[in-house]
Structure 1
Amino acid sequence: MKSTVRMFCSGVATAALLAAGTVYAQADNWKYAFEESLTEVQGVYATKFKEAIEANSDHTVELFAYGTLGESADIMEQAQAGILQFVDQSPGFTGALIPEAQVFFVPYLLPTDQAHLARFYKQSKAINEDFESLYAEQGLELLVMFPEGEVAMTTKDPVRSCDDLDEVKFRVMTNPLLVEAYRAFGATPTPLPWGEVYGGLQTNIIQGQENPTFFLYSTKIYEVTDYITYTGHNNFTTAVMANKDFYDGLDDADKKIVEEAAASAYDYIVEYQKGLAESELKKITDAKPEMTVTVLSEEERACFKEAAAEVEAKFIEMTGDSGKAILDQLKADLQATAN
């Protein structure tokens, strides 16, 4: 059963939603919240999803960008409570709710090749079958997962090896395995909500963070860091979900409309991201020519790859047989979609 806490959102979020109309007062007005701005990758995906729903039905979709309804924890509570019909949230935040979702933070599990990733997320049994049942246990219908780009570290000092992260307070999402990953890398992991990251870097409370390149530009994080480092250790994953009671209550025609909207928006966002990292990185270096950008060599990545084995073992320890089965299936799926 959901806890009392999860049945209510913050006063600000409640007021915003009441202004938009109650959940079921107008059944054809669906609410969708996500963790980025309307012009960032999740927002672009949401816009295409909305366009597909509205083009093929009488329903409307109302979009709520990051901060409108609170932090990531708030929008997940609202989705589980049925206040929101749809939510886009990274497994980085749902990892505490669905421990197996932390598998996406095992370093060097995912490839950096974007074409391979596009096939993998679309065809993976682990994602499209195994995770679907795990999300359902939490009152969520998993519609799709998609990649948002290779993760880069941004820091105040250069990073060429794990030794360079020693005593660096590195911001991570509130995800237990991501904490373990940065601890294994040699840093001091510091979980913080996103709203506190810019100020934390500005005041030196933290000295580093990680995110896809487009997000480094759009959030202006480059203004308060001096080094961008690509270690190849991860690709940012996000998941689009529906409240399960809402989804199960749809007739077959509406379910098909939702599924087709999710699929068409997926195809669009994969194409949209081609070349995005390169173009956004150029914007960063144009805005801040003194920014140092480094792609680590295989030799320089060695210590990070060695740490990955420790993090993988920690993941299995945290999640037991269920987690190991998910991990094994993901590896099989990655191999099957390699070409």
Structure 2
Amino acid sequence: MTVRRTGTIAVLAAGTLLVGVASAAHAATWRYAFEEAMDEVQGKFAQKFKEEVEKNSDHTIQLFPFGTLGESADIMEQAQAGILQFVDQSPGFTGALIPEAQVFFVPYLLPQDQETLNAFFRNSKAIHEMFPKLYAEQGLELLTMFPEGEVCMTTQEPVHSPSDLEDVKFRVMTNPLLVESYKAFGATPTPLPWGEVYGALQTGIIQGQENPGFFLESTKMYEVTDVVTCIGHNNFTTAVMANKDFYDGLSEDNQKMIQAAMESAFEYILDYQKNLQDESLKKIKEAKPSMQINILPEEERQPFMDTADDVEAEFINMTGDSGKKILDQMKADLKSAKQNTQ
């Protein structure tokens, strides 16, 4: 999904945030930045978390949606520096910092069935036991991960096979594995910060991009593309983290309160997303009746699915034994989630 602007505004905003940092032992204002708008999925999650924290403590949560503090790299740096207490960032960007997090971009790894997907995120040992150690090495406390919706492509021309993506300059996040995935799909992957995507599509610098349905609708990607194609290859994942020094310095009661607020927001956001994909695609069609929306059938998906093994091998090549252990555990977790929801 995504993330967005940069420049002196981020520096100025970060400097402002340094003023008046309160002791965590007393009522404090905690700062939480995320990669989307307030009315998008990450924003809805953040608002629910804020509501729960403020209902159950004397602390205040100050929310910073996309664009207020810079691009993804900016808010991550601010979280690691302790300027922000909380940050929501997709593994699509964190993958440069934590290569193993790129596992979420192995195509066709995550299930399309929502019940199985939710069970996986609730119970995954990879997410709840293995990833926290990797995030801690980067000064971050991993609090939760959650899905945001099926990822679909928007392009200028219809896509029914990898050959239709040949010579298409396709925007991807700055994620090495996502680059490899779209190479395998036949496209020419072009990493770009989110803030440049709309204009690049408008001017023809790129001809395609991918995001969950709600984000395609809310960011009006349909204005600068003509076709939405859903091939079932991924569900956008994001992660909420805290600055580890901040979190470790909290009382046990405050840590428990934060965890409870995260769990409440997690369940809320899973419920919020019911039917969100279908509703978003319907809104796109209403806003632009000429927009083609193609949900590829199994036989047309198969050539894309056939690339998954090569991308998986590339992931292991990039991350070594650590990545293989993560991948193996995720597969075991997914198998368990499927068995428990049948």
Residue 186 of structure 2 corresponds to 186
Q: Is the 8 A contact 1:141 1:244 kept in 2?
A: yes
Q: How does 1:139-218 map to 2 (within 5 A)?
A: 139-218=139-218
Q: Is the 8 A contact 2:143 2:241 kept in 1?
A: yes
Q: Which amino acid aligns with 2:74?
A: D
Instruction: Tell me the distance in 2 between the aligned counterparts of 1:23 and 1:188.
Output: 47
State the Cα distance separating 1:17 from its structure 2 match: 3.9
Q: Which amino acid aligns with 1:110?
A: L
Q: Is the 8 A contact 1:23 1:83 kept in 2?
A: no
1:110-162, CA deviations, whole angstroms, 9 ceiling, x for partnerless residues?
Answer: 01111111111110000001001000000000000000000000000000000
1:168-194, CA deviations, whole angstroms, 9 ceiling, x for partnerless residues?
Answer: 000000000000000011000000000
Change (3 A) 1:114 1:289: same
Q: Which amino acid aligns with 1:69?
A: L
1:59-93, CA deviations, whole angstroms, 9 ceiling, x for partnerless residues?
Answer: 00000000000001100010011110000000000
TM-score scaled by structure 2? Answer: 0.95
State the Cα distance separating 1:16 from its structure 2 match: 2.1
Q: How does 1:29-178 map to 2 (within 5 A)?
A: 29-178=29-178
Q: Is 1:24 aligned to 2:21, yes or no?
A: yes
Instruction: Tell me the distance in 1 between the aligned counterparts of 2:258 and 2:68.
Output: 24
State the Cα distance separating 1:25 from its structure 2 match: 3.9
Q: How does 1:286-305 map to 2 (within 5 A)?
A: 286-305=286-305
Q: Which amino acid aligns with 2:12?
A: A
Q: Which amino acid aligns with 2:264?
A: S
Instruction: Tell me the distance in 2 between the aligned counterparts of 1:102 and 1:147.
Output: 14
Residue 281 of structure 1 corresponds to 281
Residue 312 of structure 2 corresponds to 312
Q: Is the 8 A contact 2:14 2:78 kept in 1?
A: no
SS of structure 1 residue aligned to 2:289? coil
Q: Which amino acid aligns with 1:24?
A: V
Instruction: Tell me the distance in 2 between the aligned counterparts of 1:106 and 1:319.
Output: 13
SS of structure 1 residue aligned to 2:189? strand
Instruction: Tell me the distance in 2 between the aligned counterparts of 1:167 and 1:186.
Output: 8
Residue 336 of structure 2 corresponds to 336
Instruction: Tell me the distance in 2 between the aligned counterparts of 1:318 and 1:224.
Output: 34
Change (3 A) 1:260 1:150: same
Residue 324 of structure 2 corresponds to 324
Question: Is 13-22 or 75-84 further displaced after alignment?
Answer: 13-22
Q: Is the 8 A contact 2:17 2:83 kept in 1?
A: no
Q: Is the 8 A contact 1:23 1:84 kept in 2?
A: no
**Sequence identity of aligned pairs in percent?**
68
> Unaligned 5+ residue runs, structure 2?
1-5
Residue 3 of structure 1 corresponds to none
Change (3 A) 1:321 1:23: farther
State the Cα distance separating 1:327 from its structure 2 match: 0.2
Q: Is 1:245 aligned to 2:242, yes or no?
A: no
State the Cα distance separating 1:15 from its structure 2 match: 2.2
Q: Which amino acid aligns with 1:61?
A: I
State the Cα distance separating 1:18 from its structure 2 match: 4.0
Instruction: Tell me the distance in 2 between the aligned counterparts of 1:150 and 1:89.
Output: 17
Q: Is the 8 A contact 1:100 1:319 kept in 2?
A: yes
Instruction: Tell me the distance in 2 between the aligned counterparts of 1:23 and 1:219.
Output: 35
State the Cα distance separating 1:43 from its structure 2 match: 0.1
Change (3 A) 1:186 1:49: same
Residue 3 of structure 2 corresponds to none
Instruction: Tell me the distance in 1 between the aligned counterparts of 2:114 and 2:302.
Output: 22
Cα root mean square deviation, aligned: 1.2
Instruction: Tell me the distance in 1 between the aligned counterparts of 2:323 and 2:293.
Output: 35
Q: Which amino acid aligns with 1:29?
A: T
Residue 219 of structure 2 corresponds to 219
Question: Is 22-31 or 317-326 further displaced after alignment?
Answer: 22-31
Instruction: Tell me the distance in 1 between the aligned counterparts of 2:231 and 2:156.
Output: 16
Instruction: Tell me the distance in 2 between the aligned counterparts of 1:183 and 1:258.
Output: 41
State the Cα distance separating 1:20 from its structure 2 match: 4.8
SS of structure 2 residue aligned to 1:152? strand
Instruction: Tell me the distance in 1 between the aligned counterparts of 2:268 and 2:107.
Output: 27
Instruction: Tell me the distance in 1 between the aligned counterparts of 2:97 and 2:144.
Output: 18
Instruction: Tell me the distance in 1 between the aligned counterparts of 2:14 and 2:229.
Output: 40
SS of structure 2 residue aligned to 1:337? helix
Q: Is the 8 A contact 1:10 1:74 kept in 2?
A: no
Instruction: Tell me the distance in 2 between the aligned counterparts of 1:11 and 1:210.
Output: 28
Q: Is the 8 A contact 2:31 2:62 kept in 1?
A: yes
State the Cα distance separating 1:297 from its structure 2 match: 1.3
SS of structure 2 residue aligned to 1:110? coil
